[in-house]
Amino acid sequence: MKAGAVDFLTKPVSADDLFRAIEIAIQRDHTMRQATEEIHSITKRLATLSPREHQVFLHVIRGRLNKQIAADLGIVEKTAKVHRGRMMAKMGARNVATLVHMAERLDHASLTRESNLP
C-alpha cells in the first residue's frame, strides 16, 4: 500500500496526523532534492576532467600515492602531481577525504573495478 507513499492515513484523519504526514513529506522531499543536486554538481565537475585527470582521479580515490600513480600511468611523478592538482581544483576538493566522499556519492567503486586499475 505504501509504494512511494509517505504515509497511509485512514479516515477520519485528525488535523494533527495530517499535518505531521505533510511535514514528513516536505522534509523527505527537501532531503531528496539536496542529494540529487549534490550528485548533479559532482557529476558536472567530473565531466570537466580530461581523460588523464579522470585516470588520476580513479587512482587517488583508491589511495594511491603520486609515485605509484606515475608508475602505473607511465608518466613522471611531477606530471602526476600536476594532473592531481588540476583534478582536485576542478573537483573542488580540498583534500583526499572530500574527494573520496564525492566518489562514494557517485558510487565510483564500480567504475574503479571496470577500469582495470592495478
Structural domains in the chain, sorted by start: 15-114 (1.10.10.10)
Give the pLDDT confidence of 17-53 residue by residue, as tens digits. 899 989 998 998 898 899 889 889 999 999 999 999 9
Q: Is the pLDDT of residue 59 over 90?
A: yes
Please confirm whether the linkage preceding 118 is cis (ω < 30° from 0): no
What angle (nearest 5°) sits at the alpha carbon of residue 95, between those of residues 99 and 59? 50
**If you search the block for the grid coordinates 522531499, which residue do you land on?**
29
CA distance linking residue 115 with residue 97, whole number of Å: 21
Vertex 44: Cα angle to 25 and 104 (nearest 5): 65
Write the CA distances from 108 to 6, 21, 53, integer angstroms: 30, 35, 15
pLDDT in tens, 66-101: 999 999 999 999 999 999 999 999 999 999 999 999
Average pLDDT, integer, range 93-115: 77
